[in-house]
Structure 1
Amino acid sequence: MNKPLEPAKQTEIRLIYLLPNLLTVAAICAGLTAVRFGYEGNFEMAVQLVLAASILDGLDGRLARLMNRSTAVGAELDSLADFLNFGVAPVLILHSWALNEVSRAGWIAVLFYAICCVLRLARFNVSSRLQTDKPSSDFFVGVPSPAGAILVMLPMVISFAVTDLPATPPIFIAFYTCLIGLLMISRMPTYSFKDMTIHRANAKYFLLGTAILAAALLTYLWATLALLTFAYISCLVWAHRTYRKSKTTEG
């Protein structure tokens, strides 16, 4: 005689513990809506939504670790959100903005960048699982996908900041898109800023600088974002030199 099935145990969870996943879902909504605005021709709003998705991406993981609520589901959701927000949305917006003028080469560039991004994320996920017991490094391998998304949209940001510039040739944008894709899957060392520290005495200057930067972004968004992107490119060059010197010293 079959035994009656026992009712499943009811488990409750505090709603605040869902906040990291809610931020990830909000980032997905921002990325999808960015694609919509891109194909409607509202390119500034589309880029702003990708930027919002990158901010939410930076918050959800850190919040989960602070709350000690990191889960396997949250990690997978975050990775899928990264592919959508930084591997798909930026190049579809670029395609609507300029790459559709060179239809075949433009679409090849879209596919190339998206595949590079998913390969970058897959490599990062595998290395994260294999290095759980190792100390975190000061460097990433390759350009992270959020940074790649901002870099690939740089021609759009420059056009928003300086409106009287001549139009960038679409074929150049296609080659530039492929270049950023290659940087993501390269072995190029890039700075990991998550463990960056400052002296306690300099904390007030850091807070002041952050306030000035926030004011600049709110007042002169595109010019400030372009300058920050060029500063990040300089950091890529400096990281490469620093990494090579450290390896030479160790050798």
Structure 2
Amino acid sequence: MRTARPLRPPRGLPLRAVAPNAVTALALCSGLSGIRFAIQQNWAMAVVMVLLAGVLDGLDGRVARMLRGESRFGAELDSLSDAISFGVSPALILYLWSLSTLPRFGWTASLMLAVFCALRLARFNAAIDADDQPHKSAGFLTGAPAPAGAGLSLLPMFLWFATGEPIFRSPYLVAPWTVFVAILMVSSVATFSWSSLRLRRNVRFEAIALVVVVGAAAISAPWETISTLCVAYLLALPFSIASYARVKRLRGTAAAVEPTTPTSA
């Protein structure tokens, strides 16, 4: 009688699982480096580090899908990286740059940005396996995503870099703006998901031309370009809300007119 061979222990994580986690770790390092540059009052580099973390955050998921390296560990690490890079880091940068001159309320605004970003990510993780996600099934996001929220919170700094006007550094402007962005991240507002957008075939050339124009503008006038993109995102919010309301209304109409299946006796 042949005895069953003992199962071999796993040899370790495959490289395809390590690569996306390495990109996520780089995003975390970038976000933390933004705090270091802010302590040194190198504001431009502090903001660049947060923006770089946003770029790396957009790459890690694509690398994981390309290499088939998705894992629960990677999802948790990504959420931790997002909470620090897009919540804690922008909050501390804004506090050291402007909000520290506003007693009590300045620190409260910074706390709201950091904590609300973490709450948004916790809500996302709690619903990641849920079947009933109306916004996601319709191609929308719930509230502003963490990278977009970080970029929006730093809009006063972008405008300050572009114009040099001291009004944009005033804590009486930065504090309520920070609170607004924090609330936007945890809100139930339907926002566009860029991964769900589909272009028509007859506008592909125009889309490529637009990307080239934006890229050229970002090279020649980076802060003005980033400020314009932030304003464009804000202007798109009413359209995303109206678009989701239309999808929700159509779904309700379709459900109401759907014929019931007769049951056999």
TM-score, with length taken from structure 1? 0.90
Structure 2 equivalent of residue 22 of structure 1: 22
Instruction: Confirm or deny: 8 A CA contact 1:27 1:85 kept in the other structure.
Output: yes
Structure 2 stretches lacking a partner, 5+ long = 1-5, 254-265
- Give the aligned residue type for 1:184: M
Instruction: Confirm or deny: 8 A CA contact 2:162 2:224 kept in the other structure.
Output: yes
Q: 1:147 to 1:200 in 2, by over 3 A?
A: same
**Secondary structure of 1:103's match?**
coil
Instruction: Confirm or deny: 8 A CA contact 2:99 2:106 kept in the other structure.
Output: yes
Structure 2 equivalent of residue 3 of structure 1: none
> Quick one: percent identity of the two aligned structures?
37
- Give the aligned residue type for 2:94: L
* Alpha-carbon offset, residue 178 of structure 1: 1.2
* Alpha-carbon offset, residue 63 of structure 1: 1.6
Structure 1 equivalent of residue 39 of structure 2: 39
* Alpha-carbon offset, residue 12 of structure 1: 5.3
Q: How many residues align?
A: 246
**Bigger mean CA deviation after superposition, 70-79 or 177-186:** 177-186
* Alpha-carbon offset, residue 167 of structure 1: 4.6
Q: Deviations over 1:108-151 (max 9, x none)?
A: 11111211111111111111221399974311111111111011
Q: 1:208 to 1:164 in 2, by over 3 A?
A: same
Instruction: Confirm or deny: 8 A CA contact 1:137 1:192 kept in the other structure.
Output: no
Task: Measure the CA separation in 2 of the matches of 1:219 and 1:11.
Answer: 50
Task: Measure the CA separation in 1 of the matches of 2:63 and 2:128.
Answer: 18
Task: Measure the CA separation in 2 of the matches of 1:189 and 1:12.
Answer: 41
Task: Measure the CA separation in 2 of the matches of 1:167 and 1:60.
Answer: 33
Task: Measure the CA separation in 2 of the matches of 1:198 and 1:241.
Answer: 19
Structure 2 equivalent of residue 55 of structure 1: 55
Structure 2 equivalent of residue 103 of structure 1: 103
1:210 aligned onto 2:211: yes
Instruction: Confirm or deny: 8 A CA contact 1:105 1:171 kept in the other structure.
Output: no
Q: 1:23 to 1:231 in 2, by over 3 A?
A: same
Structure 2 equivalent of residue 196 of structure 1: 197
Q: Deviations over 1:70-109 (max 9, x none)?
A: 0011010000000001110001000010000013111111
**Secondary structure of 2:56's match?**
helix
Structure 2 equivalent of residue 124 of structure 1: 124
Structure 1 equivalent of residue 78 of structure 2: 78
**Secondary structure of 1:130's match?**
coil
Instruction: Confirm or deny: 8 A CA contact 1:139 1:191 kept in the other structure.
Output: yes
- Give the aligned residue type for 1:128: I
Q: Deviations over 1:23-60 (max 9, x none)?
A: 10100010000011011111111111101101111110
The runs of at least 4 aligned residues of structure 1 exceeding 6 Å deviation read: 132-135
